[in-house]
Structure 1
Amino acid sequence: MESVKLTKPILKVLRPALHGAKGTIKREILQGISKLYRHKDLWIVTRKEQSEFVIVAVAGRGLLYAVPHLIRLAEQHNCTSIRWHTRNPNAIKHGFKHLPAELIEVRKGLFHNDEYVYRLVLNGR
């Protein structure tokens, strides 16, 4: 997994995963609040919130193969958990299917566009 700079073509790939927050996420990446990573054909935006590693957006293919690298990255940042939000739990669940990730919240949205919040506790901490 490598850290990469944000470009217009990458932003275009990420757009569907940003759910209208493109400007905010772009600003956070440029300010260093969020980080952009690439793992083969997968683009991942992350940020750290206290001791939690937050997956902000994922776009592309190969999440299943990137998950071990994400866990290692979270541990390198001294995080005790990984959290992600999704409107399509089946799309992201596949990558974490062999891990004890827990659904911690469902935020009701308009027109059945609910947001699901998951957490994976690392090393039983």
Structure 2
Amino acid sequence: MLFSPVDGNSLVRAAFGLRRFSSLLNYLRFDDKATRSARRARDVFAPIRELWDLFHTNLGKHYVAGQNITVDEQLVPFRGRCSFIQYMPSKPDKYGLKFFWASDAASNYPLRGFPYLGKEATSARPAE
């Protein structure tokens, strides 16, 4: 989608070829392999927890919400290996990661989001 002539970003197409971008994407990691098993024992969202928290911090810094806020769910299509994949037959993409979002009703700007981590994990934050 980044390299699509219609929907894609011309800056991305100018900076990388598709093959080079794909090879760089294969090596991109947001997780420390040395401490992964200890963190994953407490939090199944651990591989991207730091990035997720940074994303949320920046959401709040750059937008002031209006008077009306809406809460909805989103299924991000995903068929990889993950313990909290959801199956939702009513969605166009039936398998994926489920998120709950609080968004500004006027602009649809996301204010806060939480991943659904399955029945065992009752909270999006690890137990302390």
For the criterion TM > 0.5, the same-fold answer is no
Higher strand residue share: 1
Provide TM-score, normalisation by structure 2: 0.28
- Tell me which structure has the larger Cα radius of gyration: 2
More helix by share: 1
